[in-house]
Every structure is written in C-alpha cells, then in structure tokens.
Structure 1
Amino acid sequence: MQLIMSTNELPPGERFDGWLEHMSQLVAPVWFNTDNRDRFHGRIEALDLGAVQVSSHVIDDCDASRTTRLIRQSDPEVYYLICSRGTPIGLTQDRKHITLGGFDMALYHTSHPFHVRTGGGQALLVSFPGGLLPLPRRAVEQSIARVLPGGHGVGGLVARFLGGLAADESSYSTADLVRLGITLTDMVAMLLGHHLDADLPPETGQRALLLRIHAHIQEHLGDHRLSPSTIAAAHNISVRTLHRLFASENVTVARWIRQQRLERCRRDLMKPAAERQPIHAIATRWGFSEAAVFTRAFHSAYGMSPQEYRAQQLPPATAGVPAAE
C-alpha cells in the first residue's frame, strides 16, 4: 500500500484538521469530530485496484458523519465495505445501528446519511461503484448496515484477503491490480449473497466479457488511442455489442473511460510524492491529450479546478509554494 497521509507530518495543532481534509477528499465529503484534537493521530495507506480502492486507516477515537447537506454537495455514489481489525466500530445508516467487533464487516454507501464511530485502532475500507457487484440493486440495499462476521467461513475468507492486501508490500502490474480488484468485488458479492441467503446470478458470458473489458480499459487508460473501436477489436466483438454491454450498466463507454481517468488523476493530485509533477503531465499520463479538456472535465466532476484541488491537499509547510504547471 502507498502512504497517503500521516498526521505525524503535521504540527500538533493542525493534525486533526489535516486528517479531516484528506478523509473528505479521499472519496466524498465527510464531517469528523473528536475529543482528542490536540493529540490526534491518523494514518492512511491505500491501494488502487482499478475501479476498486482498498485503504487502511489507523486512527484515534473519532466520529465521522455524512449529512444530507454534504450529499448535496457531492455524491460519487460509492459503496464502502468497512472491516474492523479488532477494535469496536459503530455504524448507523438507513435507521439501522450496528456495532462491529473482532473482524466484523459492514456495507454502507455515500448516497444516504451515515454515522461511523471508531474506538481507535485500525480499520480497512473497500470503496467501489455499486454497479460492479453482480447482484440486484435491491439485494445490495438489503445488506446496508448489517453485521457481516469475518471470523470464519465466507466472511473469514474476505477478511483474510483484505488483511493480506493491506500487509502486502509487493509491486504489481496495472493488469494484476485490476484483476485483484475484480477478484475482491466477486468475493464481496459472494459474502453479501451468503448472508442474504440469495442465489448469486450465474456468471453469464456477458458478465464475464464485461469484466474483461473493464480490466482492459483500466490497463490502457494512459493510451490516447483507447476508444470503443479499439476496445471492441481487442475483444473480437462489434462496437454495437460493446455499447449494448455498457448500456446495461446505464453508462456509455466514453463516460466510463473518462470517469476512470479523472479518478486516477484526482488520486495522483492528492499524493504528496507527486506534488511537484506538472498537472498537465498527470493528465497526459492518464490519457487526456488536451489540458483544456481535462480542466473542464475535472471541474465538472469535482466542482473545482485541478489546481484548486491540489492546493487543498498540500501540507501547510508547502501551501505557499507554487506547483509546476
């Protein structure tokens, strides 16, 4: 995993506010509060698995809430699977309240208000678009704020897999990371299906093909030549068939590609190790050939320019130093 931020890098009086800013920008705006502002400690590490992200959070006692106002401000429509690593976690969403202990897990999402209370220690978080799960949306919604034990059986497999990803310091190719993301998504679907006592839909040829196409796109995001025609040709299907596959997920091929490219750019902009890289170089690396097009698309998706977004991520010590463009 890659270190995203550690409060140890900030002056004591600024650590909690720095943590709050990074957590709000990591996926979606969230309000935080703690009784330990002056001595607050937090550390975030993350691993990108294509459209899926796994992150490790070591954090002191605090409350996290996503309110209706914050949802109106920005909603990426993302699901979270949170996994306790031995310390209690309280979760409230959709009028349901649960407490996670041991290696318990639970599902929640960004589109409805939620409240999370951590008792300190480590938690693992998986974020992913709901459309990646091969389950009916109604079944997924039934799983919200439900304790999913991770000490044995199917839950134990998922919890151990997550723990292995968090502890693994190996280097993987982009294609391998995408495949790990697909594997993790399927394991989450298996976990939810097990606890819902519902049959998982069969892995049809169409579903398998779409997963392969997702992996292909993730692997070639930096290629300016990536297009519906090149994707279709790589999978021996017609462009019409390709569009029909994506229509089943209520998104166009071009929009899905742009969403993935923007998300990769956003994550690079918030990495301390990349703060000296020109923004246009980051955009080019992820397939945007024109700076103006990238800037407009980024502003439309995140409500601010790439320059403004990066400035929000800089630590106070470097906030006054202009970044290269």
Structure 2
Amino acid sequence: MSPVLTTSLVPDEQKSAYWRDALGRALVPMSVTPCRERSFSGRIVTGRIGGLRVSTVEADAQRARRTEAHIRRSAEPSVAVAVQTSGRTVFVQDGHEETAVRDDLFVYDTAHPYFMDHPERFSLRVVHVPRRLLALTDGELRGVTGRVMSTERGCAAVLKPFILTVVASAHLYSPSASGGLANGLVDLLSTLVTERAEERGAEDGHTRNHLLRRVREHIDQNLGDPALSPESVAKAHNISVRYLHRLFEEEGVTVSRLIQRRRLEECAHELARRGRTSPTVSAVAQRWGFVNPTHFSRVFRGAYGLSPREWRSVRLGAWQDGTAGHA
C-alpha cells in the first residue's frame, strides 16, 4: 500500500501544523493556511513511479505559498504536473494567474515561488519530475509553467489519463514497469512543452502579422503628415521604436524607407493623373508629406530615373498617344 497522510486522527488544534508538515514531505516545503482551522480535513496518498514522486491530494479549502526561503530548504528542484480532479485551483507563478477547474492540467516549477488558492474542497493528482530528467531549457519550461491547459485536445489529452492511472496505481507496478512508465511520462511532458512552444509561435506570428497590417494602414493614412516617422508610428501603437524596427526586419525595408516609398508612389500617381487643371509639383509634394521641394525632386529622380516634371510630361504624353496603362 502507498503511504497515507491524513488529518483524521489528529487533534483539531494540531491539524494545521500536521498538514503543513505533510505537504512539505509529500510535495515540497510551503506555507499553508486552511480556511477552517479546527475542522480542517486533508488526506495525501504518496508513491513513486521510477524516479518520479506521485501524490493524490484531497483537502478542504486552503491557501498555499512557496517562497524563496522554502526553495532554499529544498534538496532538488522539480517540475510538477497536476490534474484537477475536483474543486478549483487559482494558481500564480512567474507573473501568470490562472484558474484550473475539474479535468484541467497545470504545470509548475518548484524552483520558482508560487501561490495556490483552493477556495473550496479539492482534489489533485500530482507528479513531480526531477528537473535533471528534463532535457529542456528554462526558457522552454517557462512556456508551460504557471499555465492551465485544457485536456480536451493535444498532448494534454494524452497526459491526463496517463497521470490519473499511474498516480492511482503506483503501488501495483514492478520496478521495471515503473521505470518504463516514468520514462514515458517524462517524454510526454517534453512533448507537451514542444507543442505549447509551437502554438505560441503560431500565436506570435498571427499577432505580428496583425500588428504589421495595422502599422501599414497607419502609415498609408498619415502620409501627408510631415511628422510621420518611426518614432510617431511606434508611439501610435504603444510599442518601442526598437521593436518596430525588429518587426520590419523580415519585410526587406525599413520603416523610414517604407514611408518615403509610399509617399513617392502617391506623388507619382497624382502627377500622372489627367485633368483640366494639374497641381504644381510643389503642391503634390507637400500634399504627401514632402516639406523640401529640392529634397523631393532628388529622391523622386532616384526612384524613377526622371524628375517630377519629366515624369509628368512623359506620362501625360503617353496618355495622349494612347500607350499608357491606367495610373
């Protein structure tokens, strides 16, 4: 039989201290505050699967906190994977606060402080994996720690029944079977981390593309503003200029060049437009954000090989000859 730690035989005035010590031995050292001191009820069933510690925790409402002081007293860091089998857990780690409900899965790193609030009676199935067994970087782990995951799809859907089974039946397996199951669980956890990283990459790509579209629309809508610049664009989107430039690294053009190119395109389009009256080159340049006519003529010639006036003359002549395409 697996060891059982329970408050059922402990005097009321000693329950809190007993429970705190029990959690520290079965899981990791932490401070625990039961919501009902004297009538508190809690039970832990512990076991091992190969080199992994497994636990079933069932208890009344409580709050638990692991601090830097607790971490310094711990022998070996581990990564815990928990399945919520009843009640709720409000979990906070690394700046993330999320709530797990029944059938949810969450991962936490015992080498980092965390806070758990169980507002009602709850039960968890928990596996502690020694950090040294995971061939993962701290950055990769941060992608899952402090996160609550649905077990309805993906790797979490496979990991949930695996954890429920091995935790409940840890005492039944032979040493060789336990070792194989432990390796399988470690592999599944690593796969979960990889899957989440791929999902975040896709989400980040979607966010990046959305932001790029917004920036391009903003530039097009403000080409006539002489103050339009990388600094003003970044400010309008609440991002740093550095991040704005990084955003455009894969676009093959800097933000400044994009602004200038779009202004030149609009000027070229307007200069080639037929009409009874044609605005002056200077007026066209100013309408699209060019303050200095000399500078405008120079960059226009650099882009199109003709001065603005020559461009207008050639394009209008082509219209008259019927050889120009639609501008």
Where in structure 2 are the equivalents of 1:12-91 lying within 5 Å?
Answer: 12-74=12-74, 76-91=76-91
Shift of 1:15: 2.0
2:13 is aligned with what amino acid?
A: G
The CA distance in 1 between the partners of 2:169 and 2:145, in whole Å, is 29
- Point out which structure has higher relative CO (alpha carbons under 8 A, 6+ apart): 1
Return the alpha-carbon distance in structure 1 between the equivalents of residues 170 and 76 of structure 2. Answer: 29
Q: For the structure 1 residues 169 and 30, does the alpha-carbon distance in structure 2 shift closer, same or farther, using more than 3 Å as the test?
A: closer
The alpha carbon displacement at 1:198 in A equals 7.2
The residue identity in structure 2 corresponding to 1:151 is E
1:158 matched to which residue of 2?
A: 159
C-alpha deviation, 1:97, in angstroms: 0.7
Q: Which amino acid aligns with 1:34?
A: P
Distance 1:52 1:167, change over 3 A: closer
| Cα distance, 1:198–1:156 mapped onto 2, change above 3 Å | closer
Offset, 1:96: 1.1
Q: Within 5 A, what are the aligned runs for 1:268-279?
A: none
Measured after TM superposition, the shift of residue 169 of structure 1 is 7.1
Moved more, 74-83 or 97-106: 74-83
What is aligned with 1:184?
Answer: 185
1:69-113 deviations in Å (ceiling 9; x for gaps):
222333521111121113211111111111111211111112221
- SS of 1:193's equivalent in the other structure is helix
Distance 2:67 2:124 in 1: 22
Partners of 1:66 and 1:75 in 2: how far apart? 14
The answer to whether the 8 A contact 1:28-1:75 is kept is: no
2:173 aligned partner, one-letter code: Y
Cα distance, 1:75–1:3 mapped onto 2, change above 3 Å: closer
CA distance in 1, matches of 2:194, 2:91: 21
When the two structures are aligned, how many residues end up with a matched partner? Answer: 199
Shift of 1:153: 3.5
Return the alpha-carbon distance in structure 1 between the equivalents of residues 180 and 188 of structure 2: 12
Q: CA deviation at 1:131?
A: 2.4
> Looking at CA atoms only, which structure, 1 or 2, has the larger radius of gyration?
2
Does residue 115 of structure 2 align to residue 115 of structure 1?
yes
Change (3 A) 1:81 1:32: same
Question: Partner amino acid for 1:150?
Answer: T
**Percent identical residues:** 22
Q: How does 1:78-157 map onto structure 2 within 5 Å?
A: 78-118=78-118, 119-157=120-158
Name the CA shift for 1:115/1:75 in 2 (closer, same or farther; >3 Å). Answer: farther
CA offsets 1:163-220 (integer angstroms, 9 cap, x no match) = 1223337622112111111111111112222222179xxxxxxxxxxxxxxxxxxxxx
| Amino acid in the other structure paired with 2:144 | S
Deviation at 1:12, TM superposition (A): 2.7
Contact 1:16–1:41 (Cα < 8 Å) also in 2: no
Hey, what's the Cα distance between the residues in 1 that align with 2:112 and 2:136? 20
CA gap 1:169/1:93 in 2 versus in 1, 3 angstroms: closer
Contact 1:3 1:46 in 2 (8 A): yes
Structure 1 unaligned segments of length 5 or more: list them: 200-325
Cα distance in structure 2, aligned partners of 1:103 and 1:196:
22
Instruction: Quote the offset at 1:125 in angstroms.
Output: 1.0
SS at match of 1:64: strand
Deviation at 1:27, TM superposition (A): 4.0
Contact 1:102 1:151 in 2 (8 A): no
Give the superposed CA RMSD. Answer: 2.1
**What residue identity is the alignment partner of 1:173?**
S
